[in-house]
Chain A
Amino acid sequence: MVDDRSVLELRGITKRFPGVVANDHVDFDLRRGEVHALLGENGAGKSTLMNILYGLYHPDEGQILINGEPVRMSSPKDAIERGIGMVHQHFMLIPVMTVAENIVLANEPARAGLLLNYAEARKRVAELSQQFNFAIDPDARVEDIGVGQQQRVEILKALYRDAEILILDEPTAVLTPQEAHELFEILKRLTDDGLSIVFISHKLHEVLEIADRITVLRRGKMIDTVPREGSTEESLARMMVGREVLLRVEKTSADPAEPRLRVEALRVLDDRGLEAVRGVSFEVRSGEVVGLAGVDGNGQSELIDAISGLRNPVGGRVLLGERNVSGAKPRTILDEGLGHIPEDRQRRGLVLEFTLAENLILHDYDKEPNSRFGWYFPRRVAEWAATLVRQFDVRGGGPQARVAGLSGGNQQKVVLAREIARNPRVLLAAQPTRGLDVGAIEFVHRRLIEARDGGEAVLLISLELEEVVSLADRILVIYEGQIVAEYGPDVTEEELGIAMTGGRGGGEEAA
């Protein structure tokens, strides 16, 4: 059903945020009846591009054409009126309302202009759902139906508004494989009906399964648009990851000793009560860096929380040295020798309103010499902070400066200083270089290797393949809450990329 007319064209779209160019002269076109995948790593600029298309952001440069006509979109309302529908990654649904109410919201069928004609609403929703074989109960409350069904409600919302272009932002991120499969069936039916679909993803096999054409973005730039025919997971991974200079870290080969952290058949639920970590087992030994690679949202956050005591596991064990710490309080685990560089330093890792010195003792504020019998000694804390500031080369303020005023790199140095200076037995480093510039990244990497060489067991959890490959002595790949593969340090990024997107790549399958 694909024909050659473009229903949508983006020309030279550029969008800058302070400090980054999210989209750098991106061209993109969508033909009638096709599924056009937008492929790229996290932070490649996919979501920005789609938010521009949906009227949520305004491009700094470039043009949007719909059916050949240039348009300006200043709000989602404009986009809806021009036949664009969007299924957000985080559903825009109201949990306590029914399916029908969610779908008709703001375009309700009304009696006497004001009274909500609910019967009519549910009739239309039922018809629409029947037409596309969705099997959705219009009267069910959204909070009572499954995630896959909720996604269909989102799609129906767009169809109800007569969308001709449907944007799906990482639609499979929250779905099980079966649900994803059902979604693909639906998408095929929709394109048969003449809809055009933009499919945003970073999972290679999915893109190859569903897309007619594939556009690859990398660091805000459009790399290429290729047809599905002739593309392979390898060729796409190469385009997605790129062949740019790697940040090589000088390091000797590892000399692992006794196991310091053991995770055994761990199972953890996420905030919605779904099992996000599904029986994970591994160990980290003294003197090695174990890298955990994976696409965002495959259970890494829940795993981190469970190891650090911020979330209770529902099954399995976490052993720190010989001690079973599963379900223990964060404080106990910290005192047992866990260092934890958290994923989100601003939300969790730092108290932004605190001074540098105060942040540096977040785990040890009640221990000598920082305090005694409940009395807190700011001067001693400041002295200690001054030492760390020197050691870790924190710039932008002394011990009494507020952390909020530091740059991202220096903020991360504060976190790093705090965690490493405690001489932990196990160092859990989650996304330690997220959002940092090259210099800061190098600094963090060097410190992590130093920690390893000092005999610590380092678990590195990162979305950046380069980082994992250049730092880790062993690499585990997590996919949908399970460890799916294990590699040595000389694995290629392509191999990793395929494994972490659910591909059936090489490598030794983990037990």
Chain B
Amino acid sequence: MSEKATPPPPASSPETIPSVAARLAFYQRAGGIITPLLTAVVAFFIGGLVILVTTHKNPLSTYRAIFDGTGLNWFFHVGSDSIGIPFTDSRLWFPWDTGSVAANNLQQTLIIVTPLILTGLAVAFAFRCGLFNIGGNGQFTVGAVVGVQFGIWFAGMPRPLHIVLVMAAATVAGALWAGIAGLLKATVGAHEVITTIMLNWIALWIGSYLVGFGGPMQDPRQISAPVTRPIAESSHLPIFWGNPLLQGLHIGILIAFGALVVYWIVLNRTTLGYQVRAVGFNAEAARYGGISVPRNYFLAMAISGAFAGLAGSIDILGWEYNLDLTEVQSVQIGFIGIAVALLGRNSAIGIFFSSLLFGALLTGTSTRNLDPSIFQPELASNLTRIIQGLVVLFVGADLLILYLWQVRGKLPFRRRGER
């Protein structure tokens, strides 16, 4: 990790290309909250057109049905009710009914929001250091695999200890996995996009080997199913809202909120965060300022991976309780994390709202929550992907926003004097 190993930019390219971090900071100045909102609205509008053209149904009522499935409508049903204090038997007055169908749906949404926040953070933290972590899937998988194994081991442990141990192990595993890409970037300059993509697939196939038929982690009592043994009771995350037997909301969501706070604190209240941000905005200035660029590349990747690894274990400990082959092979959450981070503009609060949006979309369009007579869930879930794609597409095009602004006459874009 020589300080001076950073290769000079090729002489043939006098222009400097802004990093993704710099681009996103630019949006924040250019449009604040307006641009992400606009991006989402345009994406939903196009999605609405798709609905209209293909099903001839009113897009608004379709979106309404999806919205009702997300459980977010729960907040609008204000009344007088009571709430149980978690882990006790006492109850308190509360304006919302915590046992309604909407409440149930909201629990499902928040269960999905949990890993989305964390993988969004995994992408965002790397972005802040000028790196593109496209390896959230792999890091998530590694976290899940390690989480399952540690959840099976140490079965006799006291519950809080066991949970902390499992999550710590998964976090470290995710960090190490992403750290490989960070190390390669720091030492030989291998592009993190390529290395993290490769690591995704390596994780996928190693995971498939471990969990699949005849693999060392396959449940020996279920020879016919490629699935691990269930984790020990002592590692289940406590459920504080909803029926524990019907997938209630576990405390993972609180951990995710905590991670948002940690993310904000690390970036804004530690010297590490200062370094990471400096490197992300202008690596050359950081180097001049005495900051080790390679060291920060490594650390940023590792911390990113830690978030994703934690996400993997929380899903296991919170509601899956075991890991099966299809889950290993169909992980998409790292990619959705990219959309979350981009739409959330790499800020903690932005990531909260964008993961809520994507989480709600995923729940609202699931077979369980969407009435097929209104809109087929299979179509709806694919519509979600289209909307994700559109969001990422528009967010990535700062010139589009520049053009919009130019039209509004706020930014003189063309250099004067040029015809």
Residues of A participating in the B interface, judged by any CB pair closer than 8 Å: 15-18, 57-58, 60, 90, 95, 271-272, 308-312, 329-331, 334-335, 340, 342, 347-354, 358, 362-363, 365-366, 371, 374-376, 378, 402
A351 & B278 in contact (Cβ 8 Å cutoff): yes
Contact of A340 with B288 at beta-carbon distance under 8 Å, contacts A16-B417, A17-B417 already known: yes
A90 & B11 in contact (Cβ 8 Å cutoff): yes
* B270 interfacial by beta-carbon distance below 8 Å: yes
| Distance between A137 CB and nearest chain B CB, rounded to angstroms | 22
B residues near A335, Cβ cutoff 8 Å? 290
A378 & B271 in contact (Cβ 8 Å cutoff): no
Give CA–CA (A56, B33) in the complex, Å.
38
Q: Looking at the complex, which of B34-42, B236-244, B279-287, B403-411 is the stretch in contact with chain A?
A: B279-287
B288 & A348 in contact (Cβ 8 Å cutoff): yes
Give CA–CA (A330, B286) in the complex, Å.
10
B residues near A362, Cβ cutoff 8 Å? 278, 285, 288-290
Which of B271, B287, B415 has a CB less than 8 Å from the CB of A366? B271
| Distance between B402 CB and nearest chain A CB, rounded to angstroms | 15
Give CA–CA (A354, B276) in the complex, Å.
12
Query: Which B residue sits closest to A309, measured CB to CB?
Result: B3
A376 & B273 in contact (Cβ 8 Å cutoff): yes
* B418 interfacial by beta-carbon distance below 8 Å: yes
Give CA–CA (A503, B278) in the complex, Å.
44
Which of A329, A347, A354 has a CB less than 8 Å from the CB of B284? A347
| Distance between B354 CB and nearest chain A CB, rounded to angstroms | 21
Hey, what's the 0/1 contact readout for B375-419 against A, CB within 8 Å counting as 1? 000000000000000000000000000000000000000011111
| Distance between B250 CB and nearest chain A CB, rounded to angstroms | 31
A residues near B278, Cβ cutoff 8 Å? 351, 354, 358, 362
Which of B25, B270, B282, B287 has a CB less than 8 Å from the CB of A376? B270
Which of A17, A348, A371, A402 has a CB less than 8 Å from the CB of B415? A17
B residues near A310, Cβ cutoff 8 Å? 4, 287-288
B residues near A15, Cβ cutoff 8 Å? 417
Give CA–CA (A340, B288) in the complex, Å.
9
Give CA–CA (A477, B277) in the complex, Å.
39
Query: Which B residue sits closest to A366, measured CB to CB?
Result: B271
Give CA–CA (A16, B8) in the complex, Å.
32
Give CA–CA (A466, B163) in the complex, Å.
70
| Distance between A218 CB and nearest chain B CB, rounded to angstroms | 21
Give CA–CA (A363, B274) in the complex, Å.
11
B417 & A330 in contact (Cβ 8 Å cutoff): no
What 9 A-B pairs have minimum CB-CB distances, sorted nearest first? Answer: A331-B290, A362-B289, A353-B281, A271-B8, A366-B271, A353-B25, A351-B282, A330-B290, A348-B288
| Distance between A415 CB and nearest chain B CB, rounded to angstroms | 10
B270 & A375 in contact (Cβ 8 Å cutoff): yes
A residues near B271, Cβ cutoff 8 Å? 365-366, 371, 374-376
26 A-B contacts (beta carbon < 8 Å)? A16-B416, A57-B418, A58-B418, A60-B417, A90-B12, A95-B12, A271-B8, A272-B11, A311-B4, A330-B288, A342-B288, A347-B16, A349-B288, A351-B278, A351-B282, A351-B285, A352-B281, A358-B274, A363-B290, A365-B289, A366-B271, A366-B274, A371-B270, A371-B274, A376-B268, A378-B268
B residues near A375, Cβ cutoff 8 Å? 269-271
Give CA–CA (A20, B31) in the complex, Å.
30
Give CA–CA (A357, B149) in the complex, Å.
47
* B275 interfacial by beta-carbon distance below 8 Å: yes
A354 & B281 in contact (Cβ 8 Å cutoff): yes
| Distance between B25 CB and nearest chain A CB, rounded to angstroms | 5
B residues near A90, Cβ cutoff 8 Å? 11-12, 14
Hey, what's the 0/1 contact readout for B196-207 against A, CB within 8 Å counting as 1? 000000000000
A352 & B282 in contact (Cβ 8 Å cutoff): yes
| Distance between B414 CB and nearest chain A CB, rounded to angstroms | 11
* B101 interfacial by beta-carbon distance below 8 Å: no
| Distance between B390 CB and nearest chain A CB, rounded to angstroms | 27
| Distance between B32 CB and nearest chain A CB, rounded to angstroms | 14
* B29 interfacial by beta-carbon distance below 8 Å: yes
A residues near B374, Cβ cutoff 8 Å? none
A347 & B285 in contact (Cβ 8 Å cutoff): yes
A residues near B29, Cβ cutoff 8 Å? 402
A351 & B415 in contact (Cβ 8 Å cutoff): no
Hey, what's the 0/1 contact readout for B228-271 against A, CB within 8 Å counting as 1? 00000000000000000000000000000000000000001111
Give CA–CA (A216, B360) in the complex, Å.
69
| Distance between B81 CB and nearest chain A CB, rounded to angstroms | 42
B277 & A329 in contact (Cβ 8 Å cutoff): no
Taking A310-B4, A347-B16, A347-B284 as given, write out 8 further A-B residue pairs in contact, using a Cβ cutoff of 8 Å, ordered by the A residue number.
A18-B415, A18-B416, A95-B12, A331-B291, A358-B274, A365-B274, A374-B272, A376-B268
B272 & A329 in contact (Cβ 8 Å cutoff): no
Contact of A308 with B14 at beta-carbon distance under 8 Å, contacts A16-B417, A18-B416 already known: no
Query: Which A residue sits closest to B412, measured CB to CB?
Result: A18
B residues near A331, Cβ cutoff 8 Å? 290-292
| Distance between B201 CB and nearest chain A CB, rounded to angstroms | 30
Which of A16, A334, A347 has a CB less than 8 Å from the CB of B290? A334
Query: Which A residue sits closest to B269, measured CB to CB?
Result: A376
A312 & B4 in contact (Cβ 8 Å cutoff): yes
| Distance between A498 CB and nearest chain B CB, rounded to angstroms | 30
Give CA–CA (A69, B245) in the complex, Å.
89
Interface core residue of A331, A351, A358 (most chain B CB under 10 Å): A351
Interface core residue of B269, B278, B288 (most chain A CB under 10 Å): B288
B282 & A378 in contact (Cβ 8 Å cutoff): no
* B22 interfacial by beta-carbon distance below 8 Å: yes
Query: Which B residue sits closest to A74, measured CB to CB?
Result: B419
B residues near A95, Cβ cutoff 8 Å? 12
Query: Which B residue sits closest to A329, measured CB to CB?
Result: B3
A residues near B290, Cβ cutoff 8 Å? 329-331, 334-335, 362-363
Give CA–CA (A389, B419) in the complex, Å.
40
A348 & B284 in contact (Cβ 8 Å cutoff): yes
Give CA–CA (A57, B289) in the complex, Å.
37
Give CA–CA (A496, B291) in the complex, Å.
38
Interface core residue of B268, B271, B277 (most chain A CB under 10 Å): B271
Which residues, 109 to 149 on B, are CB-close (under 8 Å) to A? none
| Distance between A365 CB and nearest chain B CB, rounded to angstroms | 5
| Distance between B270 CB and nearest chain A CB, rounded to angstroms | 5
Give CA–CA (A15, B419) in the complex, Å.
12
Query: Which B residue sits closest to A367, measured CB to CB?
Result: B271
Give CA–CA (A366, B22) in the complex, Å.
23
B residues near A308, Cβ cutoff 8 Å? 288
Give CA–CA (A348, B12) in the complex, Å.
19
Give CA–CA (A90, B12) in the complex, Å.
8
Contact of A351 with B270 at beta-carbon distance under 8 Å, contacts A90-B11, A330-B287, A330-B288 already known: no
B285 & A349 in contact (Cβ 8 Å cutoff): yes
A residues near B12, Cβ cutoff 8 Å? 90, 95
| Distance between A24 CB and nearest chain B CB, rounded to angstroms | 13
| Distance between B85 CB and nearest chain A CB, rounded to angstroms | 35
Contact of A353 with B416 at beta-carbon distance under 8 Å, contacts A90-B11, A330-B288, A376-B273 already known: no
B residues near A57, Cβ cutoff 8 Å? 418
B residues near A329, Cβ cutoff 8 Å? 3, 290, 292
A residues near B22, Cβ cutoff 8 Å? 353
